[in-house]
Structure 1
Amino acid sequence: MGSCFSAESRSPLPGSPLSPPSRKKPGPFGNRKGETLHRIPGRLFLNGSTGVASLYTQQGKKGTNQDAMIVWENFCSRTDTVFCGVFDGHGPYGHRVAKKVRDHLPLKLSAHWEVNISGEDVLREISLNTAGSVNSEETALLSADDGSRASVDFDETEKLPEIFKTLKESFLKAFKVMDRELRLHTNIDCFCSGTTAVTLVKQGPFLVIGHVGDSRAVLATRDKDNSLTAVQLTVDLKPNLPAEAERIRSCKGRVFALHDEPTVTRVWLPNNDAPGLAMARAFGDFCLKDFGLISVPEISYRHLSEEDEFIVLATDGIWDVLSNKEVVDIVASAPARSSAARALVHSAVRAWRYKYSTSKVDDCAVVCLFLDSNSSNLTYASNAKAKVQPTSVDHVDNESEKDDSLGVLTSVDRSGTVRTGKVVPGGNGDSSKSELGTDWSSLDAVSRVDTLLNQPRFVPGK
């Protein structure tokens, strides 16, 4: 959810903050390698289940489903390792950004993990590839080791396991390279489109999570009374967090909420009432990358115990209407683990209709990763073969390479992560006001920001 907005109805002038960057040479996605990824054994991205996980996504009422998900068993050819992720796209091409990141980020993470790169190598490459000034993205990555808020749930006297150190470096590198390639990609316009990501690697009892944006990971575990409790493993990376707001403002970006939605803090360009992004970190959204928005992940570690039962990864279509505890209880009470993700999505849809009866239901995507898959009481899919139930909204994802002419208005209307409509800034001493018209006929091909922003829309709570 969220929204996007510009104070200008005309095309941005070349060189202005709103003008899109000049297109560069074809990026690394031009070879369509993603087509072969769908045939990799153990990799599931459609509605269904495997021996360790349940997946489900459902399109909301706002247009194209911009959520994506993945479970990859035997990750990096390790039989005790699984990769999971959910991705929530936003903007006119957010659905394509989300699926592109879903398909390519795991490969990049695997490659960097395999070569076991060191932190010094990461910093050295950043230095070599930085020409002149260093933007907010590079600064955040350079200081990741010193200033990260990454949580580590173990006794401070315990030495960090080597897998966390290695995967932390690999996550940082993979996220950076992924965002760089999105910038170079000629077939997906990421100037005002992007995606969140919450991803994890579980190897045996070791769990490492890397995430950007407000998609969330929650753990279900037993307390001392054997009651099932919810433990939030990630922090929603929104601009209302003091550290995120400070970084954005230090890069000349603006952070404030609108009068008609005072609880939703957004990111705005220095001199334009756009785009009003409701998150502080994301892949893509290059119109804001010089003004505080970054794709550097928060990275956390947990040593799993016998009390830990499952992990839920989900986009904000779930968390906007259900609490962490409600999510855990719904998954735990599902009739079969193979249907747990579907049951959670259907519960969220019902909650949307009850809580926001006048609003359009958001897209939802869920991955439920079960941690006791060797238990004899499992009633979901066989460990030997995944049960896949393709859906019409996601059965040929890589064909999206050829849909550059996809109607932008549909995507704009469904996007709640970037603000559209009337801008009445508040909370930062800015008393300026502006209102957009909706003259679509006056827009040309380069008016990406204006195209994104000129469709009024309001979503309660966001």
Structure 2
Amino acid sequence: MSAGWFRRRFLPGGPLPEPRPAGPRSSPVPYHRPRFLRGSGSSPSATDASRRPDPRPVRSPARSRTLPWNAGYAEIINAEKSEFNEDQAACGKLCIRRCEFGTAEDQEWLTVCPEAFLTGHYWALFDGHGGPAAAILAANTLHSCLRRQLEAVVEGMMGTQPPMHLSGRCVCSSDPHFVEEKGIRAEDLVIGALESAFQECDDVIGRELEASGQVGGCTALVAVSLQGKLYVANAGDSRAILVRRDEIRVLSSEFTPETERQRIQQLAFIYPELLAGEFTRLEFPRRLKGDDLGQKVLFRDHHMNGWSYKQVEKSDLKYPLIHGQGRQARLLGTLAVSRGLGDHQLRVLDTNIQLKPFLLSIPQVTVLDVDQLALEEEDVVVMATDGLWDVLSNEQVARLVRSFLTGNREDPHRFSELAKMLIHNTQGKDDGATGEGQVSYDDVSVFVIPLHSQDQGSGGH
């Protein structure tokens, strides 16, 4: 997409963008909703959603379909921002096989146990940008990448400290001291597996989209339960929080243009050709105008957390890479709709500036030691895409969760009902529990994961 497109799309006063085509562009995978929504009974097809009297129905799994841990799920499509829901979701059981070194000369991994050696559970949300293709690919791919990465380290995960050599040999007498000195724990192997899985999935999506001539991308928010711990990996601006009776704990670190500002500016500093002469990497409190020429104004560059002053030159009047602040900050000059923020693999195609249009390669991972919590029945993790958090704060969501679960203890489907209720509170109902009547026009997808009954309702798909 060209710089002109970004001016029309994001800058006030410009012409409106041309209407989108009636359907998605040719995609490496067909458009569909998550498999666990089949039979939900409220599933408009992609082509007739905009013609229904209610084009934004809230959908959740059929009551006969149980998700892992009896988790709840609900989703709603955007208010005609795009023809298709660009969010995707996946969940299920991870069956991790035990592997050992073989006796062959090439020392390849050989599967010695056909049955599952270790099991875990997996929930994931993907928010597509520039179309649903990357999110669908990620929903179909990331769990397989994660299983492979975990199988490669599962032997090392079984002890308190991972051994230096999985073969069991002690090549160096200082190996145990070395591992202890580094403070490497079993959970570090899971974190490494998650990071490697994101990278592997990133490569898969890249090949598929390039082969089909597509651009686009997605964010990813993943929760994995393994060995009594919940690992939450995030790349993008979705969010996960733990809600307890007296506690709200944020479980994910959000990637936004503002949080990624310095990294993006540094890349533009190292590779100025990526700006194609149309943008400035410098950040100013507002878009500069011709009247600012020669004035000293506040600015900051890639090496700065604070601010300083500089005399405005003509080059400073170019479009800024980063515009706005907080969750509303946007990237101008990079393909913002592709992943919501910049990455280290920007590239120039003719006069267009694009970024690597896939997942963010390096997730931020938070570990929740569930076994160490004195869990109560209403303790849940809420995972949602940014459409929810743009309207509701952590405190508002927690208040809604506590109120709903306290009054619905006997409903076996209460967690999906809770997910639906959270979405209803983003639809501008003045009589809603928040009393604010705000509307989210984005796609919204919500998982509610109960922590108390971990060993029950462990079905997967």
TM-score, with structure 2 as normaliser = 0.55
Aligned to 1:115: 152
1:217 to partner: Cα distance: 1.0
Aligned to 2:60: 47
CA contact (8 A) 2:120 2:224 kept: yes
CA contact (8 A) 1:85 1:197 kept: yes
Aligned to 2:424: 346
Q: Which amino acid aligns with 1:337?
A: F
Q: Select 2:121's aligned residue among 71, 82, 87.
A: 82
Secondary structure of the residue aligned to 1:83 is: strand
CA contact (8 A) 1:237 1:281 kept: no
The superposition leaves residues 250-281 of structure 1 with CA deviations (integer Å, 9 ceiling, x where unpaired) of: 45464758759732333344xxx765778336
Q: Are 1:210 and 2:207 counterparts?
A: no
After superposition, the Cα gap between the structure-2 partners of 1:265 and 1:55, relative to the gap in structure 1 and judged at 3 Å, is same
The superposition leaves residues 322-361 of structure 1 with CA deviations (integer Å, 9 ceiling, x where unpaired) of: 011211222333332241211111112236998687x772
1:161 to partner: Cα distance: 3.5
Aligned to 1:181: 204
1:79 to partner: Cα distance: 7.3
After superposition, the Cα gap between the structure-2 partners of 1:74 and 1:292, relative to the gap in structure 1 and judged at 3 Å, is closer
CA contact (8 A) 2:217 2:339 kept: no
Equivalent-residue separation in structure 2 for 1:34 and 1:90 (angstroms):
14
**Is the deviation greater in 244-253 or in 227-236?**
244-253
Q: Which amino acid aligns with 1:262?
A: G
CA contact (8 A) 2:338 2:358 kept: no
1:193 to partner: Cα distance: 1.2
Equivalent-residue separation in structure 1 for 2:241 and 2:182 (angstroms):
24
Secondary structure of the residue aligned to 2:426 is: helix
Aligned to 1:318: 388
After superposition, the Cα gap between the structure-2 partners of 1:183 and 1:274, relative to the gap in structure 1 and judged at 3 Å, is closer
Q: Are 1:196 and 2:274 counterparts?
A: no
Equivalent-residue separation in structure 2 for 1:8 and 1:34 (angstroms):
25
Q: Which amino acid aligns with 2:92?
A: W
After superposition, the Cα gap between the structure-2 partners of 1:109 and 1:284, relative to the gap in structure 1 and judged at 3 Å, is farther
Q: Are 1:58 and 2:58 counterparts?
A: no
| 1:49-448 aligned within 5 A | 49-50=66-67, 51-62=69-80, 63-76=83-96, 77=116, 81-91=120-130, 93=131, 95-116=132-153, 161-162=185-186, 164-186=187-209, 192-221=215-244, 227-241=245-259, 243-252=262-271, 254=281, 259=287, 262-263=324-325, 264-269=328-333, 275=336, 279-280=340-341, 288-289=354-355, 294-304=360-370, 305-307=372-374, 309-334=379-404, 335=408, 336-350=414-428, 361-373=441-453, 383=457
Equivalent-residue separation in structure 1 for 2:86 and 2:337 (angstroms):
19
Equivalent-residue separation in structure 1 for 2:344 and 2:139 (angstroms):
11
1:298 to partner: Cα distance: 1.5
1:212 to partner: Cα distance: 0.7
CA contact (8 A) 2:85 2:443 kept: yes
CA contact (8 A) 1:212 1:296 kept: yes
Larger Rg: 2
Q: Which amino acid aligns with 2:425?
A: S
Runs of 4+ more than 6 Å apart: 32-35, 282-286, 290-293, 351-357
1:235 to partner: Cα distance: 1.5
1:229 to partner: Cα distance: 2.2
Tell me the matched-pair count: 304
1:293 to partner: Cα distance: 9.3
Q: Select 1:7's aligned residue among 4, 8, 26.
A: 4
Q: Which has the higher contact order (CA 8 A, sep 6+)?
A: 1
The superposition leaves residues 185-213 of structure 1 with CA deviations (integer Å, 9 ceiling, x where unpaired) of: 15886754111101021124212222111
After superposition, the Cα gap between the structure-2 partners of 1:374 and 1:313, relative to the gap in structure 1 and judged at 3 Å, is closer
Secondary structure of the residue aligned to 1:196 is: strand
CA RMSD of aligned residues (A): 4.5
Q: Which amino acid aligns with 1:346?
A: H
1:303 to partner: Cα distance: 1.4
TM-score, with structure 1 as normaliser = 0.55
Equivalent-residue separation in structure 2 for 1:84 and 1:175 (angstroms):
14
1:248 to partner: Cα distance: 4.1
Equivalent-residue separation in structure 1 for 2:264 and 2:344 (angstroms):
18
Q: Which amino acid aligns with 1:306?
A: L
Equivalent-residue separation in structure 1 for 2:458 and 2:337 (angstroms):
47
Structure 2 unaligned blocks of 5 or more: 7-26, 37-58, 97-115, 157-180, 276-280, 289-322, 348-352, 409-413
Equivalent-residue separation in structure 2 for 1:189 and 1:356 (angstroms):
42
